[in-house]
Amino acid sequence: MKSEDNGIKINFGSGYKRKEGFINVDIVPNKKVKTDIVLGKDWIYKKKKLPFKDNSVSHIEAWGVLEHLPNKEHLFFVMEEFYRICKHNAILHICVPHANSHGHYWNIDHSIQFIPDSFKCFSKGSENLIDYEQTWNCDFRIERMKFHGAPLFLQIWKIIPTKTLKTFFGAFISEIEIYMKANK
């Protein structure tokens, strides 16, 4: 999925993976890959705005980052900040470990758990059990979701009919990759 224009592109939580053509943002500097913007370790706790203008970003990559946020309140803050800086139809490309995967549990820094339905609370048009529209000030349309894990189970996953079975088989899915677009 490609951005619709050549606007600002952000690699959020760049760590050791610098992306050319993107502004590489992290909470700590990384001399090996040259972080472009360092937010500081206390950025999330102070809930500082991201240093970008409203409606100025066309693409955000956030791989292996959101699960490290301290709690759900901070996740909602980050998603609202992403929404604030995104243009209409900006791409938000996220990859997180599945809640039932070994990848989620092996790292003690993983604070937030995700299942495929987790991202529906950031999409006002989704069918939700709770009315999230009143709580979170963002609207990302889910465009596409991919799963990484054991190949055989990835094939079975596509045909499983119920949410209960998908929760069980989630143990065989290591990561959820999701493409969303800002709906403004």
The answer to whether position 3 is within a domain reads no
Q: What is the pLDDT of residue 129?
A: 47
The answer to whether position 133 is within a domain reads yes
The answer to whether position 2 is within a domain reads no
What is the per-residue pLDDT across 120-163, written as a single tens digit (0 to 9) for each? 888 886 655 455 445 578 999 999 998 887 655 556 656 665 55
What is the per-residue pLDDT across 10-29, written as a single tens digit (0 to 9) for each? 999 998 889 999 999 999 98
Burial state string for 29-65 with b = 16 or more CB within 10 A and e = fewer than 16: eeeebebeeebeeebbeeeeebebeebebbbbbbbbb
The answer to whether position 64 is within a domain reads yes
The Cα–Cα gap between 94 and 1 comes to 12
Give the CATH number of the domain where residue 87 resides. 3.40.50.150
Q: HSE on the CB side for 128, CA within 13 Å?
A: 16
The answer to whether position 77 is within a domain reads yes
* Domains of the chain: total: 1
Give the structural domain span for 144. Answer: 8-182
54-63, 114-123, 124-133: which range is least confident on average?
124-133
pLDDT at 8 over 50: yes
The answer to whether position 165 is within a domain reads yes
Higher pLDDT, residue 40 or 116: 40
CB 90 within 8 A of CB 113: no
The answer to whether position 63 is within a domain reads yes
The answer to whether position 41 is within a domain reads yes
